[in-house]
Amino acid sequence: MQTRRQTLGLLTAAGLAPAFPAGAQPRFPDQPVRMIVPFAAGGPADIIARVLGNAMGSRLGQPVVVDSRSGAGGMVGVEAAARSRPDGLTAVLASTGAVVVLPQLMPRMAYDVGKDLAPVIHVLSVPQILVVSPKLGVRSVAELVALARRQPGKLSYGSAGNGSSLHLAGELFRIRTGIDIVHVPYRGAAPAVTDLLGGTIDMLLADVPVVIPHIRAGALPALAVTAEERLAALPDLPTMEQAGARGVISDTWYALFVPAGTPPDRVAVLHAAAAAALGEGEVRRSLSDQGGTVHGGPPEALAALVRAETAKWGEVIRAANIRID
């Protein structure tokens, strides 16, 4: 069970212990921590949460229980967290869409990220890979852009739905390259990949784990990754910048939040446990297997990320006139 000494040790490891007066060591409840995942069980977010939760639990001295609350692009689970008691026993592994994208698209939201959630730690970011239909006959971003310019309005790109991170990534690519391509929304990335393989659509920007098996099998030509650096899993694949599409940096990131009003000492304990977990080699390897980059950093860094991403994607939403019907 969690003891005062264990709790203080976690805080000391995170550089947070000096914030508490001598003799006033923070206490953390000896109860399971609930980590809400706002997506279906078995998906990438669920895998990330279980890897992180297991490692955090061993440091907290109590289990971290994953609670799947899927629906509405992640908003159902985030709302459940925002409405939970702010006692440090509930957290949510939220992603880009429900934190920075959907709040700018929905006319009414059940929660206000800035008022109802408190940042804990940035966990992982997963970039997208630009893949094209084998029938298209292009093998580079330059060839794709040239083809699109010769045939304005003729080429199509798929996404996981209107307003999804893949939709915004596609719009960012369209805007930065100045091409005219048509958006085709699907109910998830899987059916979009199926139609891409069949040649129904021409291109797709999809998260790494979704398309990497098809790339390795030679079924889908990969043109570039929307990251600042090349992927270790695909070292020959250029970044968008290297391929000539400047400013096309996009990823789906995952981060841990708690309800606003959670006592700072309990946020600190959760942060310290998560930070220690993310520094563990086996945890980093397991998360990297999801095709992303492991992060970390203090809550303030996550808050800054939310502000920067809100501004970035808000600009894309306005420029592309994206709306949810």
Q: pLDDT tens, 280-309?
A: 999 999 998 888 899 999 999 999 999 999
pLDDT band at 2 (very low <50, low <70, confident <90, very high): very low
Residues 98 and 74: beta-carbon distance below 8 Å = yes
Asked whether residue 124 carries a pLDDT value surpassing 90, the answer given is yes
Where are the chain's structural domains? 4-126+252-320, 127-225
Shared fold status for 4-126+252-320 and 127-225: yes
Asked whether residue 16 carries a pLDDT value surpassing 90, the answer given is no
Q: 62: which DSSP letter? A: S
> What's the Cα-to-Cα distance from 257 to each of 140, 171, 192, 217, rounded to whole Å?
39, 28, 30, 37
Write the CB contacts of 165 (distance below 8 Å, at least 6 apart in sequence): 95, 96, 97, 101, 128, 207, 250, 252
Please tell me whether the overall predicted TM-score, pTM, comes out greater than 0.85 for this model.
yes
Show the tokens assigned to 177.
């390259």
Element (H, E) at 116: helix 113-116
pLDDT value of residue 307: 97
pLDDT value of residue 6: 52
User: Considering only the top CATH level, what class is 127-225?
Assistant: alpha beta
Tell the CATH topology of 4-126+252-320.
D-Maltodextrin-Binding Protein; domain 2 (3.40.190)
Question: Residue holding tokens 């970390």?
Answer: 296
